[in-house]
Structure 1
């Protein structure tokens, strides 16, 4: 199943995605259950409906984030060897864990806003894991049983805030609009092996990042098991798993985002995103 959200009258509605990429309205009881979380039982009920038989959503609705309000938005840093090397940092011996503020989450095609005083805002296409069942001290062998599905994440990062403002990565990771998710949550059964997915990102139409999850240092199963030792993972929590090489920080000379830039990115089987970068605007 591919699960999406769309905006109508200021609220997000959940939809199933049909074979042609169209949105189909889910029944009201499923909508209500999904508003309460992404546990495996609820997703199984939603998956039981044939998308082709559900009412079509018309009027080209604006997509929202498929997981709008996770209790935690967790990130793994330096999880591709060649990205660690381009960053000039040691290869991790354990997963590097940090947090992105859930308030940074936006839809897959929403604008990315440069924060006030931004100097070095960067792009990072990543595979996101969505938890579907409570996980605490799970084994690597059982870890993926706790996964609801996967999605595309752009882990937008302000490098000066991240690396030059006191040593806490979170400062550069949770700015407003820095967490585009989607276009869909694709359930685990549709993906099969998450360690063989192509990732790509283009900046202003030119190739920037190309990679495959087969080159991750720590696999999705290792990541879920590892993080569950330090915090209980709840249904709907999102873990974004690191980025392949090609980020702006690694270029010579470094290149960072400016107002008017566009980012297009995607992962095989998980759909595509597109964002336009805009200058800071006070809410």
Structure 2
């Protein structure tokens, strides 16, 4: 775990052919059975999380083992995954600048103009949402098998909200009371499948570009909401040791309360669901360097630890 590991967190770990819920405290982990959790399942607990109960279990003497000996997997079991696009101010400005036609104006002048547009969107606009498949949620114990139909697979490190009690048409002011915790997600995207060339002006094809097996590496920790200020977190991704994304959630156009309020308007957000908040500047398309077999990504978010995702060729995936 990174130096920003919280006082305690939840995780799920492999025990033979089973996956069990665990309590993580420092560099230790112990099983967390339903009778200690106080609920029949993780999602049932998240519907009304009693973090004081879990904190008290950290004082127990028995059952602990070194965290390094455990194989952690995705810490959540969402029924829905709601994703947010174009939500970091600097990232959107970079995208607009990359696609603009040269009109002779200095770059700084154009960036300032686009920045004003983003500020107006933040003040008067609405978040942009789309849906991911829960089946794509995996832990970083599962290697990322890069599909052979493309060589344009990309990373997008994101802060993910884990919903607690059900949220349906909630206000911005009440939104954070529906958050159980936070985790890390790397939203993998196949760039040449985002826009179709055979369907006119139908727009982005998020199903094909973002929903291959393992395209949502998640975790390894579910950190309780009381330990996290989502408004000011460092977000950092390294590829083979080189820093590619290095930003802060202070750059979000729509903050976590605004996202929860907006996403809950159409459909109830359920306990354990994931709400991704968008990815900052610095993905592979920006650098002109997309994912290859053998790549290792380390994504970290302040207070949430870090995840390691290892890329392999599709033909090398475990059977």
Once the two structures are TM-superposed, the CA of residue 61 in structure 1 deviates from its matched residue by 1.8
Once the two structures are TM-superposed, the CA of residue 46 in structure 1 deviates from its matched residue by 5.2
Q: Please give the alpha-carbon distance, in whole angstroms, between the structure 1 residues aligned to 2:89 and 2:303.
A: 24
Within the alignment, does 1:174 sit opposite 2:211 as a pair? yes
SS at 2:306 equivalent: strand
Moved more, 240-249 or 44-53: 44-53
Q: Please give the alpha-carbon distance, in whole angstroms, between the structure 1 residues aligned to 2:39 and 2:171.
A: 32
SS at 1:116 equivalent: coil
Aligned to 2:230: 194
Aligned to 1:79: 87
Once the two structures are TM-superposed, the CA of residue 34 in structure 1 deviates from its matched residue by 2.5
CA contact (8 A) 1:136 1:232 kept: yes
Paired residues in the alignment total 278
Q: Please give the alpha-carbon distance, in whole angstroms, between the structure 2 residues aligned to 1:31 and 1:153.
A: 27
Q: How does 1:199-238 map to 2 (within 5 A)?
A: 199-238=235-274
**Alpha carbons of structure 1 residues 46 and 3: separation in structure 2 relative to 1, 3 Å:** farther
C-alpha deviations, 1:10-45, integer Å up to 9, x for none? 221111111x22212213423862245443425547
Moved more, 88-97 or 238-247: 88-97
Within the alignment, does 1:70 sit opposite 2:78 as a pair? yes
SS at 2:174 equivalent: helix
The counterpart of 1:103, out of the listed 111, 131, 135, is 135
CA contact (8 A) 2:47 2:166 kept: no
The gaps in structure 2 that reach 5 residues or longer are 1-7, 100-113
The counterpart of 2:305, out of the listed 271, 275, 281, is 271
Aligned to 1:21: 27
CA contact (8 A) 2:21 2:33 kept: no
Aligned to 2:280: 244
Q: Please give the alpha-carbon distance, in whole angstroms, between the structure 2 residues aligned to 1:135 and 1:232.
A: 5
C-alpha deviations, 1:189-242, integer Å up to 9, x for none? 111x21110000001111100000011000000000000111111101001101
CA contact (8 A) 1:101 1:175 kept: no
**Alpha carbons of structure 1 residues 163 and 37: separation in structure 2 relative to 1, 3 Å:** farther
Aligned to 2:3: none
SS at 1:175 equivalent: coil
Aligned to 1:139: 171
Aligned to 1:34: 41
SS at 2:48 equivalent: helix
Moved more, 216-225 or 150-159: 150-159
Aligned to 2:111: none
Q: Please give the alpha-carbon distance, in whole angstroms, between the structure 1 residues aligned to 2:43 and 2:168.
A: 20
Aligned to 2:15: 8
Please report the TM-score for the alignment, with normalisation by the length of structure 2: 0.81
Q: Please give the alpha-carbon distance, in whole angstroms, between the structure 2 residues aligned to 1:36 and 1:96.
A: 26
Once the two structures are TM-superposed, the CA of residue 57 in structure 1 deviates from its matched residue by 3.7
Please report the TM-score for the alignment, with normalisation by the length of structure 1: 0.91
- Which one has a larger percent helix, Structure 1 or Structure 2? 2
